[in-house]
Homo-oligomer: A and B are copies of this chain.
Amino acid sequence: MIKVGVVGGTGYTGVELLRLLAGHPAVQLVAITSRGDAGTPVAAMFPSLRGRVGLEFVAPQDADLESCDVVFFATPNGIAMQQARSLIDAGVRVIDLAADFRIRDVAEWQKWYGMTHAAPELVAEAVYGLPEVNRAAIRGARVLANPGCYPTAVQLGFIPLIEAGLIDLGHLVADAKSGVSGAGRKAEVNALFAEAADSFKAYGVGGHRHLPEIRQGLGLVANEPVGLTFVPHLTPMVRGIHATLYARLTRDVDLQGLYEARYRDEPFVDVLPSGGHPETRSVRASNMCRIAVHRPQGGDVVVVLSVIDNLVKGAAGQAVQNMNIMFDIDERLGLDIVPVSP
């Protein structure tokens, strides 16, 4: 059994991680920390976990995290970078679901996240946990940077085109739509039901923190910088991300065949038959990414549709997938969930 600790289990990625870990046959949950809710049974805060998670939240200082094999950080940005060092030194592997180790360029990170990085040397060694491009490196990672939700959907959609050198890299467009759980479980007026229901809006058009992460990921695949316009939107649903991607083709190719070949062996990427339109609910509660590729009217623009559950493949599920790889067990263990639809 893998002994697991969770730091910060009171947000949506936290409770989702607990849902997945509670059903994972190779995991023993050792401790879940919360600064504000120490002493509260986890299942009192999240009644969906009644009978499945018997632990109480413990104060960080009271949790024996160093006895764990792996510790997940489901914390706000800026926490994991302060605590990872001592855990690693104690031989504990760290998976950060926040953004502390995602951007290799520390100055760039500091600009977008508005704080000084506490552990730049760990950034250098951290592995970016997108298994579909990085599986080998993940296996040996001590510090794993779990990708953001938008970056997961967008990168999986663009990667086959970029690897094959088929598109104009200067003017990519990613028009992405997220369910409201992506805003987190913080008390903010913007995320109130009566604000977000029955309405639709873009946000962060001027600049969103996932932009540099996506540019970095695509640039590494392309081996050159890419130009990307990224517009996130809020859509009135709880879970799900739908990325609609646009690029200009520079030469002809069998797009359907390309995507099917690229993802044939991936357990969590499903390429729909030609002409398909994936719905977010077709991956709800599961770790799947479903993708369809189109070339409208046979023109020179390729349109890729990519959907994930933002809390699973976009956060907690991908983190568990990464853990499975890191501990060399079946990558699908604990993630064998049939999507919930309707």
Contact B197 A237 (CB under 8 A): yes
Contact A194 B200 (CB under 8 A): no
Chain B residues whose C-beta falls within 8 Å of the C-beta of A311 in the assembled complex: 342
Contact A198 B198 (CB under 8 A): yes
Contact A281 B187 (CB under 8 A): no
User: What is the distance, in angstroms, from A192's C-beta to the closest C-beta of chain B?
Assistant: 5
Q: Give A191 to B279 CA distance when docked, in angstroms.
A: 13
Q: Show 5 residue pairs from A and B whose CB-CB distance is below 8 angstroms, ordered by the A residue.
A: A15-B341, A47-B341, A177-B177, A179-B194, A194-B342
Tell whether A52 is near chain B: CB-to-CB under 8 Å.
yes
Contact B236 A193 (CB under 8 A): yes
Chain B residues whose C-beta falls within 8 Å of the C-beta of A48 in the assembled complex: 281-284, 286, 338-341
Tell whether A39 is near chain B: CB-to-CB under 8 Å.
no
Q: Which residues of chain A (266-321) have a CB below 8 Å from chain B?
A: 270, 272, 275-286, 290, 292, 294, 296-297, 299, 301, 303, 305, 307, 311
Shortest 10 CB-CB contacts between residues of A and residues of B: A199-B281, A48-B341, A48-B339, A180-B193, A201-B279, A181-B194, A187-B187, A175-B175, A47-B282, A193-B196
Chain B residues whose C-beta falls within 8 Å of the C-beta of A231 in the assembled complex: 244, 296, 303
Q: Give A207 to B303 CA distance when docked, in angstroms.
A: 12
A238 in contact with B194 given A49-B338, A187-B187, A207-B296 (CB within 8 Å): yes
Contact B305 A340 (CB under 8 A): no
Chain B residues whose C-beta falls within 8 Å of the C-beta of A341 in the assembled complex: 15, 19, 46-48, 199
- Interfacial residues, chain A to chain B (CB-CB below 8 A): 12, 15, 19, 22-23, 46-52, 171, 173, 175, 177, 179-181, 183, 185-189, 191-203, 205-207, 227, 229-231, 233, 235-240, 242, 244, 246, 248, 270, 272, 275-286, 290, 292, 294, 296-297, 299, 301, 303, 305, 307, 311, 336-342
Contact of A296 among B200, B229, B307, B342 (CB under 8 A): B229
User: What is the distance, in angstroms, from A197's C-beta to the closest C-beta of chain B?
Assistant: 5
Q: Give A24 to B248 CA distance when docked, in angstroms.
A: 45
Contact B201 A280 (CB under 8 A): yes
